[in-house]
Every structure is written in structure tokens, then in C-alpha cells.
Amino acid sequence: MNQSKALLSVDHLVIATQQDPRVLINDVTFEVHEGEAVGVVGESGSGKTLSALSILGLLPRGVAVTEGSIEYNGVDLAKISAQEMRKIRGSEISMVYQDPMTALNPVMKIGDQLLEVIESHEKLDGSSAERVWEALREVGIPDVGRAMESYPHEFSGGMRQRVMIAMALILSPKLLIADEPTTALDVTIQQQILALVAEERRKRKMSMLWITHDLGVVANLVDRLIVMYAGRIVEAGSVKEIFTNPQHPYTHGLLASLPVTKDKSRKRLTSIVGVPQKPWLVGQSCSFAPRCFKATSECANQIPQLVGTLEKSVACFHPMGVES
């Protein structure tokens, strides 16, 4: 079906706290192919951010990859040195965060910050300032000359997000990872940023891993979707498959909770009752079982494995639409 090559290949990844080991991410396996955009969705706490940070070797102190591999172009990123990782970060893989202030230095002019990104990988030369100018123009910053002389606080949230995208793109990475970069923005600005990213991705033939808790936001942006729940992938597949034929009861619930109209006054129509279990407390069972209307004793006593193809895979003993 998909003949393209995997650029990023995450295999049976386990991430845990180092003291009193608590498993936070369990047995996560997925691929991002060349030029492909993959969305990662799931409630808060499902493990999206840690999965993303592990790729760039940016896990918080006290949290580490304990099993599995993260292959990028054939190199296991979980095993390389900090120095080798610095070479990859920014130029091969870069990241945009939910809060631009995580990436932006509040006391440094925007232009200098972009120059610094170039300088972290290459010697600056006569064309560097021009590259910065062009990078800011490309993301739709008005009056670029003035913007280069400004500080982050002089920009609106949406403009800061554009600056961060310019920073992430200036070294032409092959893979862009975005962790809920539009969550804090109002809907109109959010749509503008998504359109901008979609356009950049198309122009650059870049691969993308786009994280969000909002399935509605990514539907038009990505080719495939990964659904996470309590530290595991419960379903993955093409956007079409996920939207038209969701098999995991959790995915089904997520889709049912999408507002059917654009009218913001309409509240969520359905919601899944209860809260997710903590991954380290789940044990040998399906983590969704306590909230699942299809759960049986099998679900309480065994971990369902993710099985299927790139087009569609599910980790469930009683997938929707299949009588069993």
C-alpha cells in the first residue's frame, strides 16, 4: 500500500520514571514516512508530549527511555550522544511547542534569535541575515525589518507562534514535530497557522508529527492518525479509516464527541464517562476497560496488542462493528 520509506521508526518504546520506576509510555510503535504527516491525538496525560520529547532527546530530568528504539534514517536516537543529537536537532528534526516562550528568548531580538539558530549549525556569512529575513517573510510576518529588531513580548500570540515556526524551519528540517502549537490561540488564528504549516509542508515535502488533543483540528492537516490512551497506542490508521471506520471504542467516543457544527455555543454532544487510568497502575489489562461499554473479563486480564497494517491497526479484543 504505502511504498514510501520510513524516515522515523519508533519501535516498542517504553518511557519510565527512573526513581520508583513508573511506566509512562508503554510499547509505543509507529512510523513516519518521508513526506508524510502523522497526527497524534489523545486526552491530556496520554503520553503525547513525552513521546515527542523522547525523539529529540529532550525528556525531562528523571524520565528516560527504558526499552525500544527510535530510528531516524537508520540511527537509533535513543542511543546517540548529546553532541550527535545537537547536530540533528534543528537541522534534521525540529520542534514547535505549545508555548512559544519555551523556544523564544524574552531578552533577545527576534532577528538575533534566528541568526543564533543558523549559527548553532553553520558559520554565519553575508547571506545569513537575508535568510532570516526570508524565513520571517515566509511565515507571514508583516514589516520584517522591524520584526527582526523587536523582542518576543512585542508580538501577539499568533505572531510569536509564526516566529517559532520560522525558527523551526530555517534550517530546512526533514521532520517537523509540533506539540499542540495552536491550542492557546483563538480559532481564526489557529486556522491561519494550520494553513501556513500545511503550505510549508507541501512546498518542502517535509514530514510532520502533529500532536493535539483535538481530533477536529488535525483532520485536514495529516495523512495518518495515531490515537493514544494512557501511554499506549490504541488505534492508528489513515485519516479516512479513522473517521469512517473507527474500531476502538475509545476512538469511537472521541469522534462522537466532536461538535457537528462550527457553532461554538454547541457543547460537546457526547463524552466518555470517567477519567483515564494512570499508565503505571493499569497492569495486565486493557487500560480503557474501566470506561468501555464493550469490556469483558478478557479485557480485564490481558493487554490487547496493536495489530493490523499501516492503513489501519487497533489494540482491542472487541473492535466496533465486529461481533465477538
Ligand X SMILES: Nc1ncnc2c1ncn2[C@@H]1O[C@H](COP(=O)(O)OP(=O)(O)O)[C@@H](O)[C@H]1O
* Minimum CB–partner distance for residue 41 and Mg ion (Å): 11
**Which residues are near ligand X by CB under 6 A?**
17, 24, 42, 44-50, 60, 62-63, 278
One symbol per residue from 267 to 296: x for binding Mg ion (CB under 5 A), - otherwise; what is it? ------------------------------
- By beta-carbon proximity to Mg ion, the closer residue of 276 and 319 is 276
* Minimum CB–partner distance for residue 306 and Mg ion (Å): 21
**Minimal CB distance residue for ligand X:** 49
- By beta-carbon proximity to ligand X, the closer residue of 73 and 257 is 257
One symbol per residue from 47 to 76: x for binding Mg ion (CB under 5 A), - otherwise; what is it? -xx---------------------------
Note whether 91 binds Mg ion by CB under 5 A.
no
3-state secondary structure the chain: CCCCCEEEEEEEEEEEECCCCCEEEEEEEEEEECCCEEEEECCCCCCHHHHHHHHCCCCCCCEEEEEEEEEECCEECCCCCHHHHHHHECCCEEEECCCHHHHCCCCCCHHHHHHHHHHCCCCCCCCHHHHHHHHHHHCCCCCHHHHHCCCHHHCCHHHHHHHHHHHHHCCCCCEEEEECCCCCCCHHHHHHHHHHHHHHHHHHCCEEEEEECCHHHHCCCCCEEEEEECCEEEEEEEHHHHHHCCCCHHHHHHHHCCCCCCCCCCCCCCCCCCCCCCHHHCCCCCCCHHHCCCCCHHHHHCCCCCEECCCEEECCCCCCCCCC
Residues 11-50 that bind Mg ion (CB under 5 A): 48-49
* Minimum CB–partner distance for residue 180 and ligand X (Å): 8
* Minimum CB–partner distance for residue 97 and Mg ion (Å): 10
Name the site residues for Mg ion (rule: CB under 5 A): 48-49
